A and B are shown apart, each in its own frame.
Chain A
Amino acid sequence: ELKVEQNPLFLSMQEGKNYTIYCNYSTTSDRLYWYRQDPGKSLESLFVLLSNGAVKQEGRLMASLDTKARLSTLHITAAVHDLSATYFCAVATDSNYQLIWGAGTKLIIKP
């Protein structure tokens, strides 16, 4: 059974700092997704990682996937307040018809 674990679950940081959110999963998969959710809002797609070694960057966010280690990271560079949100990773099952989600990382960036 595929399980997805994110850590940390909560992160409070200062503007300008760098940090990394980790997403570990328990069985083989080569499809991993990162989403952002603002309070009271829906989910917005950030990155789709579809192969081992995939790296995607958008602004201050960079995501990578290591399928051998079953690990994805979401790196935040020089954080700004606007990046405060909850970040979820989700992993596709073997069938590719389902996504299993992590519990989310609530990120608070203080000015």
Chain B
Amino acid sequence: EAQVTQNPRYLITVTGKKLTVTCSQNMNHEYMSWYRQDPGLGLRQIYYSMNVEVTDKGDVPEGYKVSRKEKRNFPLILESPSPNQTSLYFCASSLHRAITDTQYFGPGTRLTVL
């Protein structure tokens, strides 16, 4: 089944404890992206990647890191999480390098930073 998977789905952590949220897609998509969703703000893009080893900042990159060492994986790293990073996070992918078609979303990761 074609899908985007994220792990973990739920995470409660404490301020300053490094964490990684994994994202994987099995559709051979070029483009991958991370978003955060907060009430009343829609989705805001954190980072995106157009291809292996090619990443760029979105609108809210502060406090996050990403890497794209393989085409299928695009992990999101929070080196020192803070409470303002409490949010619902979505990974998404699409076929081509640019956004010219549908993005497929993962199930989401709900992160709470205490």
A interface residues, Cβ below 8 angstroms from B: 4, 9, 31, 33, 41-45, 48, 50, 88, 90, 92, 95-104
Contacts and interface: CB of A to CB of B under 8 A. Distances in A.
A31 B31 CA distance: 16
A4 to B, nearest CB: 8
Contacts of B98: 95-97
A31 B100 contact: yes
A91 B19 CA distance: 31
A100 to B, nearest CB: 8
B74 interface: no
In order of increasing CB-CB distance, the 9 nearest A-B pairs are: A101-B42, A96-B98, A45-B102, A101-B43, A43-B105, A103-B42, A42-B105, A92-B99, A42-B107
B42 A104 contact: yes
Contacts of B104: 45
Chain B interface: which size bin?
A: 20 to 34
Given A96-B98, A97-B98, A98-B58, A33 B103 contact: yes
B42 A98 contact: no
B99 A42 contact: no
Contacts of B92: 43
B90 A42 contact: yes
A104 B13 CA distance: 28
Interface in B10-69: 31, 33, 35, 40-45, 48, 50, 56, 58-59
A41 B90 CA distance: 11
A42 B35 CA distance: 12
B108 interface: yes
Contacts of B99: 31, 92, 96-99
